[in-house]
Amino acid sequence: MDHPVSPLAKPFPAMPQIAGVVPHVVRAGYKDWGRCDLTYVTLEPGTVVAGVFTRNLCCSSEVEIGRENVKQGQARALVVNAGNSNAFTGYRGREAVEQIMAQVADYLGCPKEQVFVSSTGVIGVPLPKDKAREGVDKALTAEPCSWEDAANTIATTDTFAKGATATAMVDDTKVTISAIIKGSGMIAPDMATMLGYLFTDAAVEPAFLQECLSAANVRTFSCITVDSDTSTSDTVLAFATGKAGNVPLASFGSPGADAFAAAIHDVCRQLAHLVVRDGEGAQKFIAVTVTGAVSDESARKVGMAIANSPLVKTAIAGEDANWGRVVMAVGKAGEPADRDKLSIGFGGVWAAREGLPLADYDEAPVAAHLKGHDVTIEVDLGLGEGSATVWTCDLTHGYISINADYRS
Amino acid sequence: MDHPVSPLAKPFPAMPQIAGVVPHVVRAGYKDWGRCDLTYVTLEPGTVVAGVFTRNLCCSSEVEIGRENVKQGQARALVVNAGNSNAFTGYRGREAVEQIMAQVADYLGCPKEQVFVSSTGVIGVPLPKDKAREGVDKALTAEPCSWEDAANTIATTDTFAKGATATAMVDDTKVTISAIIKGSGMIAPDMATMLGYLFTDAAVEPAFLQECLSAANVRTFSCITVDSDTSTSDTVLAFATGKAGNVPLASFGSPGADAFAAAIHDVCRQLAHLVVRDGEGAQKFIAVTVTGAVSDESARKVGMAIANSPLVKTAIAGEDANWGRVVMAVGKAGEPADRDKLSIGFGGVWAAREGLPLADYDEAPVAAHLKGHDVTIEVDLGLGEGSATVWTCDLTHGYISINADYRS
Domain boundary among the residues A221, A250, A277 is at A277
Instruction: Looking at the structure, tell me whether residues A341 and A397 fall in a common domain.
Output: yes
Residue B182 pLDDT level (bands cut at 50, 70, 90): confident
Instruction: Looking at the structure, tell me whether residues A70 and A186 fall in a common domain.
Output: yes
Percent of chain B with pLDDT over 90: 58
Instruction: Looking at the structure, tell me whether residues B177 and B290 fall in a common domain.
Output: no
Angle (deg, nearest 10), helices A129-140 and A90-108: 20
Domain boundary among the residues B213, B247, B277 is at B277
Domain boundary among the residues B229, B246, B277 is at B277
Instruction: Looking at the structure, tell me whether residues A321 and A391 fall in a common domain.
Output: yes
Instruction: Looking at the structure, tell me whether residues B233 and B303 fall in a common domain.
Output: no
Q: Which of B89, B193, B232, B291 is catalytic?
A: B193
The Cα–Cα gap between A271 and B363 comes to 39
Within-domain flag for A141:
yes
A330 touches B: beta carbon within 8 Å: yes
**pLDDT value for A230:** 66
B408 labeled binding residue: yes
What are the pLDDT digits (tens) for B224-240?
A: 777 666 667 778 889 99
How many CB pairs below 8 Å do chains A and B form together?
217
Instruction: Looking at the structure, tell me whether residues B191 and B293 fall in a common domain.
Output: no
DSSP state at residue A396: -
**pLDDT value for A406:** 53
The Cα–Cα gap between B260 and A181 comes to 59
Instruction: Looking at the structure, tell me whether residues A61 and A190 fall in a common domain.
Output: yes
For residues B50-78, give the mean pLDDT: 88
- Distance from the Cα of B24 to chain A's closest Cα (Å) equals 30
B86 labeled binding residue: no
Within-domain flag for A11:
no
Instruction: Looking at the structure, tell me whether residues A222 and A321 fall in a common domain.
Output: no
**pLDDT value for A207:** 94
- Distance from the Cα of B329 to chain A's closest Cα (Å) equals 7
Do residue B58 and residue A327 have CB atoms under 8 angstroms apart?
yes
**pLDDT value for B234:** 76
Mean pLDDT by 10 residues, chain A (408 residues): 77 93 96 94 94 80 92 94 86 93 98 95 88 98 96 89 91 90 55 74 94 88 73 81 93 92 91 84 93 95 91 92 88 87 94 85 92 96 95 88 67
Chain B segment 345-374 residues within 8 A of A by beta carbon are 352, 355-357
A193 labeled binding residue: yes
Q: With H, G, I as helix, E, B as strand and everything else as coil, classify residue B139.
A: helix
A182 labeled binding residue: yes
CATH of the domain at A333: 3.10.20.340
Chain A segment 57-76 residues within 8 A of B by beta carbon are 57-59
CA distances from A64 to A20, A87, A98, B352 (A): 27, 11, 12, 21
Cα dihedral across residues B398, B404, B407, B408: positive or negative: positive
A112 labeled binding residue: no
pLDDT for B180 beyond 50: yes
Measured torsion, CA atoms of residues B108, B110, B111, B115, in degrees rounded to the nearest 10:
-50
CB nearest to A58's CB, from B187, B331, B395 = B331
Over chain B, what is the mean pLDDT? 89
**pLDDT value for A261:** 94
Instruction: Looking at the structure, tell me whether residues A258 and A326 fall in a common domain.
Output: no
Q: From chain A, pick out residues whose CB is under 8 angstroms from the CB of B343.
A: none
Instruction: Looking at the structure, tell me whether residues B128 and B269 fall in a common domain.
Output: yes
CATH of the domain at A100: 3.60.70.12
Within-domain flag for B54:
yes
Residue in chain B lying closest to A336 (CA) = B57
Instruction: Looking at the structure, tell me whether residues A229 and A255 fall in a common domain.
Output: yes
Number of domains in chain A: 2
**pLDDT value for B296:** 93
pLDDT for B157 beyond 90: no
Pair B398, A310: CB distance under 8 Å:
no
What are the pLDDT digits (tens) for B189-236?
A: 233 457 888 899 999 999 999 999 999 888 888 877 776 666 677 788
Most confident among B144-148, B278-282, B397-401 (mean pLDDT): B144-148
The Cα–Cα gap between A406 and B385 comes to 36
- Distance from the Cα of B16 to chain A's closest Cα (Å) equals 36
Q: From chain B, pick out residues whose CB is under 8 angstroms from the CB of A399.
A: 310, 314, 400
Higher pLDDT among residues A182 and B369, named by residue: B369
Within-domain flag for B63:
yes
CB nearest to A58's CB, from B56, B339, B406 = B339
**pLDDT value for A185:** 52
Q: Which of A157, A193, A241, A396 is catalytic?
A: A193
The Cα–Cα gap between A273 and A376 comes to 14
Q: Which of A60, A64, A84, A88 to mutate to test the interface with B (most CBs of B within 10 A)?
A: A88
Residue B91 lies in domain: 21-277
**pLDDT value for A231:** 66
Q: From chain B, pick out residues whose CB is under 8 angstroms from the CB of A401.
A: 397
- Characterise A355 by phi-psi region: left (phi > 0), alpha (psi -120 to 50), beta (else): left
Within-domain flag for B230:
yes
What are the pLDDT digits (tens) for B291-308?
A: 999 999 999 999 999 998
A291 has catalytic annotation: no
By C-alpha distance, which of A26, A61, A62 is closest to A41?
A26
The Cα–Cα gap between A83 and A302 comes to 35
The Cα–Cα gap between A333 and A288 comes to 14
Q: Which of A60, A63, A332 to mutate to test the interface with B (most CBs of B within 10 A)?
A: A332
Q: Which of A226, A400, A402, A407 to mutate to test the interface with B (most CBs of B within 10 A)?
A: A400
End-to-end CA distance of chain B: 17
**pLDDT value for A401:** 85
The Cα–Cα gap between B404 and A397 comes to 9
Percent of chain B with pLDDT over 70: 94
| DSSP symbols for A220-252 | TGGGB-SSSPPPSS-EEEEEE--TT-PPPB-ST
pLDDT for B286 beyond 50: yes
The Cα–Cα gap between B106 and B325 comes to 57
CA distances from B142 to B24, B37, B81, B105, B139 (A): 6, 14, 16, 16, 5
Q: From chain B, pick out residues whose CB is under 8 angstroms from the CB of A324.
A: 87-88, 122-124, 190-191
Q: From chain A, pick out residues whose CB is under 8 angstroms from the CB of B357.
A: 88-89, 124-125
Residues facing residue A177 across a β-bridge: A166, A200
Within-domain flag for B2:
no
Do residue A317 and residue B88 have CB atoms under 8 angstroms apart?
no
The Cα–Cα gap between B396 and B286 comes to 13
Within-domain flag for B223:
yes
Do residue A408 and residue B322 have CB atoms under 8 angstroms apart?
yes
**pLDDT value for B399:** 84
pLDDT for B406 beyond 60: no
Q: How far is CA A190 from the centre of its chain?
A: 18
Within-domain flag for B247:
yes
User: What is the DSSP pairing of strand B356-357 with strand B349-353?
Assistant: antiparallel
Instruction: Looking at the structure, tell me whether residues B290 and B253 fall in a common domain.
Output: no
What are the pLDDT digits (tens) for B334-366?
A: 899 988 899 999 999 999 898 888 888 888 999
